[in-house]
Structures are given as C-alpha cells and as structure tokens.
Chains A and B, each alone.
Chain A
Amino acid sequence: MPAEPTAPQPMFDTDELVINMGPQHPATHGVLRVVLKLDGEKVIDADVVIGYLHRGVEKLSEHRDYNQIVMLTDRLDYCASAAANLVYCEAVEKLLSLEVPRRARYLRTVLAELQRIASHLVWVGSHAMDIGAVTVFLYALRERELVLDLFEEFCGARMTYNAMRVGGLPQDIPPGWDKRVLAFCAVMDEKIAEYETLLTHNRIWLDRTRGVGVISGREAVAIGLSGPPLRASGVRRDVRKDEPYAAYSEFEFDVPLGANGDTYDRYLVRIEEFWQSTRIIRQAIEGLPEGPVLAKVPRMIKPPAGETYHANESPKGEIGFFIVSDGTSTRPYRCRVRPPSFCNLQALPRLVRGHLVADVVAVIGTIDIVLGEVDR
C-alpha cells in the first residue's frame, strides 16, 4: 500500500469525475449526449441521454394514410432512407396479404443494397475521421455522391427518397439506369480496395480498434444487438438469410462473421458487407425480369383488422415495423418502429466500461448509430 500523503487535499480528487459529452459534439454523430463517469482517464460508467431529435414519428403515423407514412419513415435513418421505406411497405403488404410483382422485388433489392453501401460509406468515413484519418471521410463521401446521383435519377431526391409504395415502386427505373448501377459497382469495388489499403493493415488503426469495445456473442444476444455488431461477435444472424424478404432468396451472397467482437471485427464485417452488396446488386441487375413495378392496390388502403411485425436487415441492424390495423380506417391504429440504432445504443455503457476516454468516440462510431432512428 503506498503511504497516505499527509499533504493538504489535492486540487483534483482522484475520485470520480463526471463529464458531459454532447449533445453538441463533433464526434457524437448527431445530437447524442453521453455523461461519462471517469476515474482519471478510465471510464467507469456512461449514461446515454437521448431524445433531442424526437419528432413523434410513431404518433404522427396514426394520423396519416398508409402511403403517406412512407414519407415519415424516410426520416428515421436518414442515411439509409430506402431501407426503412422497404420494411414499412413490406409490413403493410403482409397485412394486406399482397403479392409484389417480381420486377419490383428485384428493384427493391437493388435499392436496399445501394442504400447499404451508402450507409456504410458514411459509417467508414465518420468512424475513420473520429479516429483521426480525415482523408477517408472525403473519399467515402465522394463515392456516396455516386449513389446519391443514382437515387436522384430514380426518385428525384438525394436524401429522403420516398422511394417505395405499398405494393411496389412508384415508377419504373429510367432507361440506362441499370447500366449505370453496374458501372457504379465496378467503381465501388476499386474504391473499397482503396479504403482497405488505408486502414485495414494500418498499425495505428489496429492499435486503436483491436480489443476496444469487446462484447461476447452471448452478451450481444442478451442485450439485443443486431446487424454488424452482432455478427462481429460471432452470432450468425442476418434477416436476409433467416427470413428472406424482397428478392433475397434468389441471390447468392455470404454473411461475414467476426470472431472477437471488438471494434476491428465490426470494421472488417462492414467492409466485407460492401463486397457482398455489390455482388447482390450485380446478380439482381443481370437477372432483372420484365413486368409491372406496382401491384394492383386500391387507392385507399384499408387493411383488414389485425397486427403484424415484419423485420428487415437495414445497414444498421434489424429494423422492424409492428403495425396494428383496426380494419375500419385508412390509418393505422398503431405503428411502432423497432429501430436498430436505439437497441444497439443500449450496449454503449457496457462497451466503454474500463476503456479510456479517447475510446468512447471510437465505440460510438463502431456501433454506427443515427440519431433520427434512435429518437424517432
């Protein structure tokens, strides 16, 4: 035991120090507030405070027609709007027991995978930037521009797409769009290799991410993680494989798994998902069938009474919609979102405990959250 100093009380108690990170902070990816309890440099506990971006999406959707709600789902995960569009439309189609035309299902898959690439690009850029490699952010956004151009051609918007309707897609793809998508996939493959050169075997990157924010598979399942954080801990769960939706059952692709459940593994899993996404897009475009893109849907959508839960694999994790219809109205009785970011964020205190302050930023980046989804 070191001798107790008899000097007067030191200026800094080496007991707990409580500091506040955010809601305005360059590294919290939005309006997230984390209250950290520190012992010197080590984090003892982290308290996450959310709600700064709550807009009442679920309540608003009780006062909107089923097709109008698609516009609201855009604004959940605004880095990957089409993913939320898709899962919502499919949930309503499940309620209606509606069959979506094959062409629409293929195109929906293409849009969802393009969205996965776009979301992962934002993730890799901001994660690398938080850890200090600023250049990767600029490169990633350069590629994201290409995706946004494709979406703009298709539905007219760069961010909140409103790209799907109950029953299919609002319009067919413009001529030549499919060729441009294939060209984009070729470019993307080159660029992913570039990001990997910059980061994957970089000594400093390895030091900053290996062993940081480790969570075991069992704990991950217990907390309710989903998506890449879950898969990086070794749990094989991907909604695209386990409960296929859109046209995923017709394509071949692998689901990357990690071994250690640390930040580096989550990085590797998401990078591998880039490769798999371009693979799926190529298969979908090359096998694109002819046909209508919208099923015969009544103008006023009035599903029969009942409730359903439908989940998809959004870029951030498992996104689900639970919709209750009372059978008499064109508006849902209840529309509840299961946001992947919200559930994944619960793991933050568990992940940062015992690490240093500089790691908190790395962990927030690796969980990959979007506050729009967390707060709804």
Chain B
Amino acid sequence: MGEQLAFYALSALILGCAVIVITAPSAVYAILFLVLDFLFVAGLYVVLHAQFVAVIQVLVYAGGIVILYLFVVMLVNLKRPPEAQRDRRRRSRLGVALSAVVLVEFAAIALYGYVAPEAGPAGGGLSFSNVERVGWLLYTDYLVPFELASMLLLVAMIGAIVLARREL
C-alpha cells in the first residue's frame, strides 16, 4: 500500500518536472528541474529496493552529467540563430507527428512485447546482496557490453580533449 502510494506520488512529480523542463523559460531553469527529475527517479529506484542503482543515479546522472549540461548552457549564449524556423505551425505539426509515432511504439510494445516480470531471484531483496549482485552480473553475464561501454567513454573523453586542445 505504502509502495503504491509512493510510486504514484513519485511518478506524478517526475512527469510534472518533465513538463516544466520542456516549457521552462530559461535553459538553466530547465536543467535544474531536470536534476529534480533525476532525484525523483532515484526515489523510484529506492521504492523498487534497488538502493545501489538509486545512489548511482544521483552520483552519475544528477551529480555528473547534468553538471556538464549546466557548464555548456552557461558558457554558450543560447540565443536563437536568425535563420531558425519561425513558423509555429510547422513546429506543432512536427510535434504531433512525433507523438503519434511514439504512441504507436508504446502500443506495439504493450501488445506484443510485454513479458510478465519473473519473480525476483531468491533473496533478491536482501540488503547486502544488492551491490554484490550488480557486481557479479556486470562482470560475468554482461562483461562484454560493460567493457564496450567503457571503451566508448574513453573514446569520447579523448575526442573531447583533442577537440579542445588549442594549436599554439
């Protein structure tokens, strides 16, 4: 009962913040509400007994990635370039088209792709095994994707440094 309440409350907050993110007047406000959004998502993870993922969500997403967004927004003057599209109707037509595509996708997943969640692994709710379980999974079943992801991050980092280096 408490879990359900928490779930609905958090979801409402998440969706509300997301709406504000899209409609906020200034980019910085949008980013701040995005951070709030991520914090609520972390709350959702806690409700699902995934404390480790919740903390990592805060640490990496809210506390790392969005900070970079903030840096970029602050250093770059986000004014509309003069040749941007001024036609409002074209924007809303595009919006409607995209939402229709997304809705069709959701419907397809709901009807054909829905798989009932398996009962959680035995002892899955035990506190001490949370971090351990993730660790085991990452390094045994999902080792290759994990290593690939880290390679990707490394490439991105090197690319950024190369681009930013000034030729003196």
Contact = CB atoms under 8 A, between A and B. Distances in A.
Nearest to B80: A8
Contacts of A1: 167
Contact of B77 (A2, A3, A11): A11
B120 to A, nearest CB: 47
B77 A8 contact: yes
A174 interface: no
Interface of B: 74-79, 81, 163-165, 167
A9 interface: yes
Nearest to A1: B167
Contacts of A3: 163
Contacts of A12: 75
B79 A8 contact: yes
B2 to A, nearest CB: 48
A291 interface: no
B163 A10 contact: no
A7 B76 contact: yes
Given A7-B76, A10-B75, 11 more contacts: A2-B164, A2-B167, A3-B163, A8-B76, A8-B78, A8-B79, A8-B81, A10-B77, A11-B74, A11-B77, A12-B75
Interface in A1-54: 1-3, 7-12
Interface of A: 1-3, 7-12
16 contacts: A1-B167, A2-B164, A2-B167, A3-B163, A7-B76, A8-B76, A8-B77, A8-B79, A8-B81, A9-B77, A10-B76, A10-B77, A11-B74, A11-B75, A11-B76, A11-B77
A9 B80 CA distance: 11
Chain B binding surface SS class = loop
A129 B81 CA distance: 49
Contacts of B75: 10-12
A200 B79 CA distance: 52
A2 B163 contact: yes
A282 to B, nearest CB: 53
B80 to A, nearest CB: 8
Contacts of B74: 11
A2 B76 CA distance: 18
A296 to B, nearest CB: 68
Nearest to B77: A11
B50 to A, nearest CB: 38
B76 to A, nearest CB: 6
A10 B72 CA distance: 10
Contacts of A2: 163-165, 167
A4 to B, nearest CB: 12
A189 B32 CA distance: 59
Contacts of B167: 1-2
A229 to B, nearest CB: 29
Contacts of B76: 7-8, 10-11
B127 to A, nearest CB: 44
A200 B9 CA distance: 62
A7 B84 CA distance: 12
A3 B159 CA distance: 12
Contacts of B79: 8
A221 to B, nearest CB: 30
Contacts of A7: 76
A7 B80 CA distance: 10
Nearest to B76: A10
A30 B167 CA distance: 39
Contacts of B78: 8
A9 B74 CA distance: 13
